[in-house]
Structure 1
Amino acid sequence: MFIDDTIAAISTPVGEGGIGIVRMSGKDSLSIAEKIFRSFKGKNIRDMKSYTMMYGFIIDPKTNEKVDEVIISYMKAPNTYTREDIVEINCHGGVVAVKKILSLVLQNGARLAEPGEFTKRAFLNGRIDLSQAEAVIDLIRAKTSESMHIALEQTQGKLSSKIKDIMNRLLGILAHIEASVDFPEDDIENVVSSKIIKDSREIINDIEYLIKNAETGKILREGLNTSIVGKPNVGKSSLLNALLEEKRAIVTDIPGTTRDVIEEYINIRGIPVKIIDTAGIRETEDIVEKIGVEKSKEYIEKSDLIIFMVDSSRPLDDEDYEIIQLIKHKKVIVVINKIDLPLAIDLDVIKSNFKEENLVFASINTEKGIEDIKQKIEDFVFSGEVKSKDIYVTNVRHKDILFKAKESINKGIETIELGLPLDIASVEYKDAYLKLGEITGDTAAEDIIDRIFSDFCIGK
């Protein structure tokens, strides 16, 4: 795709701030800047070297009035983010200044950039592939250092390298099929078939490994939906406050204090956790509390993980048993709270319904058990495995493609095992190759590419 125009956008959040940045990318970036910029020392902007800055003023060419005091930075193609000439105008932060400067840039030859168009140009100009481009938005939206680290690795091509390796191995399989079809007199089909099946199963193992890590990747990208559930006065709000390290929820001895759900994002050992303190589940005549109880039940269904709290100083009752029935099909950490008080709970009932390794004995008021709960959450996300060396598929689109590619390869194996001609199997291997190319962008349709970049903010 040939790109001939120059785009511009505000690349910093609109609002009050120390600086604002208006960015241009395209062959006319420097000439547009020349029309509206005057150097403080009378220097010619055309004499700027790449990766240098110049101090001066933005001028309205029609009135010759100064608009703002700025610093211009210039980056010459192809060693830039978009592989095009880039000019950035660093002005004072604030709505008026940056919008006025953007307006002058647009009046003098630039076009307003579409969402994500700077990154799209980096992709179209071959600096990054599609999966790296998608990782840019993950990097911007990262909620923890761990999710930021994984997104950064994706922008540097960690996933791309693995996908391209699998695609190259599929090309090898297709080459073997081609050779067998072209030279049937060499009687190599049986040997080729055995090798193709062996190579195919190795590829499937690699794809399954990526799919296995996709759930963890999705959590690190979007956050772990975690609901704290239990009957009233078992310590749910106290746990929320302890995890947040602030008094976010009201804590009293009066049952039914929490009548609505409370949602907060917290960082637990690098994992973004969307923690939800639900209303105590019980039978009630209070209309408002009843609505809260129903919402609690809805959140149980939506949650990736449930923290079920019980009061160890009280025997289990009908309310506890009702909650157990609601959550027994979910991933559950059971927090047996108030262990500083005399034990009255029947632990055998708890152990018969939940895995013993998922039990935590705690006294939230004394902060006993808080670190154990955090460890259980981390174990749930990473399954206790070393995480830093893994490749994580963080994108639902990528996961879906991997499933479809695996399906095609399995069909290819079935075709060969049925004794059908190898050129019939080649259709399935080509399909798997084309599917995987949608991750890197090598075979992605234009409408898919447009949809991906439409999720970006303008200016990136």
Structure 2
Amino acid sequence: MKNFGENDTIVAISTPPGEGGIGIIRISGENSGIVASKLFKCAKKDLTVENFESHKVVYGKIVDEKGNVIDEALCIAMWAPNSYTKENVVEIQSHGGALVVRRILELALQNGARMAEPGEFTKRAFLNGRLDLSQAQSVMDIIKARTDASLRMAAGHLQGKFSDEIKAMRHDILEVIAHLEASIDFPEDDIEDVAKDEASAKVRSIKNRIEEMLSTFNTGRILRDGLVTAIIGKPNVGKSSLLNTLLREDRAIVTDIPGTTRDSLEEYANIGGVPLKIIDTAGIRETEDKVEQIGVEKSMSYVQKADLILALFDTSSDLTKEDEEIINLLQGKEGIVLLTKNDLSCVLDIEDLQKRLQGNFKYMQISTFNNDGIKELEQEIVNRVYSGTVKQAEGVFVNNVRQANALKEAQKYLEDCLNTIEMDMAEDFIVIDIRSAWEKLGEITGDTVDEDIIDQIFSQFCIGK
């Protein structure tokens, strides 16, 4: 981020674009009060923003450089270090029209502030020690959370539950390093073997803790980003009806005319706290319609990249040529086979289907007409996502690739450390490996991370946060 680190004052609109009841303009930096006082005039004429009590709301008016009133507003000063960034922060709450909010922003820029870059407020909170890097990343996770479980995980990270686990392991590693270095510095005390034995036991314990944390990564990633779920089947098998049922709203058009869905629809559904990113694909069949052909090709591609495949087969009819194409497409894969139209007489030879479709599939019968089997399907999805992890512990789940990679590298260094101990090598070599693990864990909290990585992380934030 260019210019960051200087004692400048930054400003941004912190509410979403568009019209709303309230618009918030956030100013942060040493001169926040001075900048705000030039555009916000309170009802008490002898009171300026620089003299506001911290965290007290004050009513006033926004005026331009000519003294013209732009809007009525509320102003809150939060003086350092008791603010989000641990700097002087002033927030102005105006009416939420796009024009008035933009005008207030322009006035702040004219009076000495500069435009904040993406994530710069949170980056300042991190650099000023209010948040560690894991907590800072969780800010965007809270904003983007789509289910209660997603929110619990993000809130747990923000409260430091995940960071506390990392810091505890780093503390234990430092103890091991201290004991090993003591045996190096005082060889006459004959503590070498004892130090190595203690180091081996502690390193194994830390390695097991990392392994337990890594086992939560798949669940954490899904809670954060959503479970990419592809609904696959021939035309009129009930794909759009299933989408509408899971969404609990009529999102997709449902008719008995084949080819109604000619492109893929993407929607999020909340299934037992799991955010499902559902892709309702075009029915797979041969068609002369070029638009529908593209939709069919996209349907086939989604099978390759989906986290979960829901393959639909109509129990009220025999297997068709289109079904055969889907069977061939799904060979060797895994997911859930949904036997649809369970409310009608069963004609499909289910045992024959199971013989033909080779892979790891669970078979379930459903009917979107009377919702038969839908609750069981939803519970199966939840079980697959959590896969034995404790739902109450979302706050310590690993939820992004950066965290997972750092943990894997730390685990590798700990394995190298154990091998070094087993080979009865000198303590100096053991310390090298275990210190490398300590540094890798520090990358998660930001204690040992490069500035380029910090910049890259905060560049993904929205402006104003």
Assess, with a 3 A threshold, how the Cα gap between structure 1 residues 349 and 385 changes in structure 2: closer, same or farther.
farther
Farther off after superposition, 361-370 or 129-138: 361-370
Report the counterpart of residue 448 of structure 1 in structure 2. Answer: 453
Rate the CA distance shift 1:411–1:123 in 2: closer, same or farther, 3 A. Answer: same
Given that 1:224 and 1:274 are in contact with CA atoms closer than 8 Å, whether structure 2 keeps it comes out as yes
Task: Name 2:372's counterpart in structure 1.
Answer: 368
Distance 1:238 1:287 in 2: 24
Distance verdict in 2 for CA 1:185–1:233, change over 3 Å: same
Q: Is 2:387 the partner of 1:383?
A: yes
RMSD: 2.0
1:14–1:94: 8 Å Cα contact kept in structure 2? Answer: no
Residue 21 (structure 1) aligns with? 24
Contact 1:230 1:310 (C-alpha < 8 Å) held by counterparts: yes
> Which of 422, 428, 431 is the equivalent residue of 1:426?
431
CA displacement 1:40-98 (0-9 Å, x = unmatched): 2324124421111211112223x222222111111121111111111111112122212
Paired amino acid for 2:463: I
**TM-score, normalisation: structure 1:** 0.94
Which consecutive unaligned segments of at least 5 residues does structure 1 have?
none
* Residue number in structure 1 paired with 2:254: 251
User: In the aligned structure 1, how far is the partner of 2:333 from the partner of 2:305?
Assistant: 10
Aligned to 1:392: 397
**Aligned partners of 1:99, 1:186: CA distance in 2, in Å?**
71
Q: CA deviation at 1:431?
A: 0.9
Structure 2: how far apart are the matches of 1:440 and 1:347? 52
Partner residue, 2:413? 408
Query: Matches of residues 23-172 of structure 1 in structure 2 within 5 Å?
Result: 23-45=26-48, 46-61=50-65, 63-172=66-175
The one-letter amino acid paired with 2:377 is I
Alignment match, 1:308: 311
The SS at the match of 1:293 is helix
- Kept in 1: contact 2:332–2:358 (CA 8 A): no
Unaligned stretches of 5+ in structure 2? none
Give yes or no for contact 1:228–1:309 (8 Å, CA) kept in 2. yes
1:341 Cα shift? 2.5
SS in 2 for 1:366: coil
**TM-score normalised to structure 2 length:** 0.93
1:405 positional shift = 0.8
Query: Which letter does structure 2 place at the counterpart of 1:427?
Result: I
Sequence identity, in percent? 51
State the AA in 1 paired with 2:75: I
Q: Alpha-carbon deviation of 1:254? A: 3.3
**What's the secondary structure of 1:83's corresponding residue?**
coil
Shift of 1:213: 0.6
The within-5 A match list for 1:294-373 is 294-351=297-354, 353=357, 358-373=362-377
Following superposition, the deviation at residue 357 of structure 1 comes to: 8.5
Between the aligned partners of 1:283 and 1:33, the Cα distance in structure 2 is 65
CA positional deviation for 1:267: 1.5
Secondary structure at 1:98's aligned position in 2? Answer: helix
Deviations 1:325-383 (A, max 9, x none): 42244331111112232323333345555789932211221211111111111111111
How much has 1:134 moved relative to structure 2? 0.6
8 Å contact kept, 1:306–1:327: no
Q: Which of 161, 175, 178 is 1:175 aligned to?
A: 178
Q: Tell me which moved more, 448-457 or 33-42.
A: 33-42
Task: Tell me, yes or no, if the aligned pair for 1:240 and 1:277 is still in contact at 8 Å.
Answer: yes
Q: Check conservation: 2:334, 2:361, Cα contact below 8 A.
A: no
Residues 320 and 77 from structure 1, CA distance in 2 versus in 1: closer, same or farther, beyond 3 angstroms?
A: same
Contact in 1 for aligned 2:147/2:270 (Cα 8 Å): yes
SS of the residue 2:38 aligns to? helix
Distance in 2, Cα, partners of 1:388 & 1:116: 30
SS at match of 1:181: helix
Q: AA paired with 1:405?
A: A
